[in-house]
Chains A and B, each alone.
Chain A
Amino acid sequence: MIQAIAFYIFAIVVLVSGAMTIASRNPVHSVLWLILAFFNAAGLMVLVGAEFIAMLLVIVYVGAVAVLFLFVVMMLEIDFAQLRAGFVRYFGIGLVLAVALVAEILIAVGAWSAGGVDLARRGAPVDPTIPNIQAIGNLLYTRYLFVFEGAGLVLLVAMIGAIVLTHRQRQGVRPQNIAAQIARRPQDATRNMRPEIGQGVQL
Chain B
Amino acid sequence: MTYASQVAMTLPEIVLALGALALMLVAAWGGPSSTRAVSWTAVAVLGGACLALIGPATSGNTAFDGMYRADAFAGFSKVLIYVAAAVAILLAPRFFERTAGDDLRPEYPVLILLSAIGMGIMVSTGDLLTLYIGLELQSLAAYVLASFMRQDQRSAEAGLKYFVLGALASGILLYGISLVYGFTGSTLFEEIAGAYAAAPLSGDGKSIGLMFGLVFVFAGIAFKISAVPFHMWTPDVYEGAPTPVTAFFASAPKVAAMGLAARIAIEAMGPAEGQWRQIVIFAALASIIFGAVAAIGQSNIKRLLAYSSINNVGFALIGLAAGTPEGVAAVLTYMAIYVVMTLGSFLVVLQMRGTDGQPIETIASLSGLSRTRPGLAAALAIFMFSLAGIPPLFGFWAKFAVFDAAVRAGLFPLAVVGIAASTIGAYYYLRVVKTMYFDEPAAAFGEGDKLEGGLIAVAAIVVSPLGYLAIPLLSAWTMAAAQALF
Contacts and interface: CB of A to CB of B under 8 A. Distances in A.
A162 to B, nearest CB: 9
A164 B129 contact: no
Nearest to A120: B185
Interface string B132-172: 01101100110110011010000000010000000000000
A145 B64 CA distance: 8
A150 B186 contact: no
Interface stretch (B72-80, B109-117, B420-428): B109-117
A160 B186 CA distance: 33
Contact of A164 (B17, B64, B144, B184): B144
Interface of B: 3, 10, 17, 24, 63-65, 67-68, 105, 107, 110-111, 114, 117-118, 121, 127, 129-130, 133-134, 136-137, 140-141, 143-144, 147-148, 150, 159, 184-188, 191
Given A147-B127, A153-B137, A164-B148, 6 more contacts: A150-B130, A157-B144, A160-B107, A160-B111, A160-B114, A165-B144
A127 B67 CA distance: 22
A123 interface: yes
Contacts, number: 79
Contact of A156 (B105, B114, B133, B188): B114
Contacts of B141: 157, 161
Contacts of A144: 64, 67, 129
A191 B292 CA distance: 80
Interface of A: 119-123, 142-147, 149-151, 153-154, 156-158, 160-161, 163-165, 168
Contacts of B111: 157, 160-161, 164
Nearest to B124: A146
B147 A147 contact: no
A123 B186 contact: yes
Nearest to B32: A169
Contacts of B147: 165
A143 B117 CA distance: 19
A164 B112 CA distance: 13
B114 A143 contact: no
Given A119-B185, A153-B17, A164-B111, A147 B140 contact: no
B129 A161 contact: no
Contacts of B118: 150, 153
Given A120-B185, A121-B186, A165-B150, A154 B64 contact: no
Contacts of B68: 146
A149 B118 CA distance: 12
Contacts of B110: 160
Given A123-B188, A160-B110, A154 B105 contact: no
A146 B64 contact: yes
Nearest to A119: B185
User: Which are the 6 A-B pairs with shortest beta-carbon distances?
Assistant: A121-B185, A161-B144, A150-B133, A164-B107, A157-B140, A143-B65
Nearest to B110: A160
Contacts of A153: 17, 114, 117-118, 137
A121 B67 CA distance: 16
